[in-house]
Amino acid sequence: MSSESQPITHGVPIAADHGIAAHIRSALNALDWIARGVVVAALIGEISVVLTDITIRGLFTLSLLWSDEASKLCLVTLAFIGGAASYRARHHTAIQFVTRFFPERLRAAVAAAVDALIFCVALTTLVVSFDLLAVAETSMMPMLQINSAWAVLPFTVGMTLIALFALERLVFEHPRAVVF
C-alpha cells in the first residue's frame, strides 16, 4: 500500500488497522477528541473567569473571591489534559528540531526510545498521582467549596492519557525491530 493511500493519524501514515487494533485506535481517537473538548471548555472557562474578574474589578473595584480557585482548575486542566492531547498530535518540536538531522534509522530509534521513556515516566507519575489524589480528597477548596481532588484530577487523567498515547505509539507506529 503506498503512503498516499494509507490512513493518516495526526499527519503520520499508518498501516491499515484490522480487528481489535482498529477498535483500540477508535477508542483512543475518541479519548483524544474528548480531551480536546475538555481543553476547549477549560480555555473558555479560563478566559471567562479572568475577563469577568477584570471587568468587575475595573467597574466596581471589587474582586471575585472564587476566581483564583476557578482559574487554577482551568489552568491545571489546560496543562495536563492539553499536554496529553498535544503529545498525541506530535506537538513536541524540541525533539523534532534535534532529530531531523539524524539518519532515518537513528531517528526511528530515538523516537521509539523517547516514547518508551515517556510511557515509563507517565506510568510512574500516574501511580504517584493516586496518593496525591487521596490526600487532596480530604480537603475542600475554601471559596468554591468543592473537593480539592478536582484540582488533582486533571493531573491523573493527563498522565493516564499520556501513558495510553505513548503505548499506542510503541505498539502501532514503531517498527518491532526498533521497539524490541
- Do residues 137 and 160 lie in contact, with contact meaning Cβ atoms separated by under 8 Å? no
Q: Is residue 22 scored above 90 in pLDDT?
A: no
pLDDT at 5: 42
Q: What is the pTM of this model?
A: 0.84
**pLDDT of 115-136, one tens digit each?**
999 999 999 999 999 999 999 9
State whether the Cα torsion 136-37-162-91 is positive or negative. negative
**Average pLDDT for 80-102:** 87
pLDDT at 60: 94
pLDDT at 11: 44
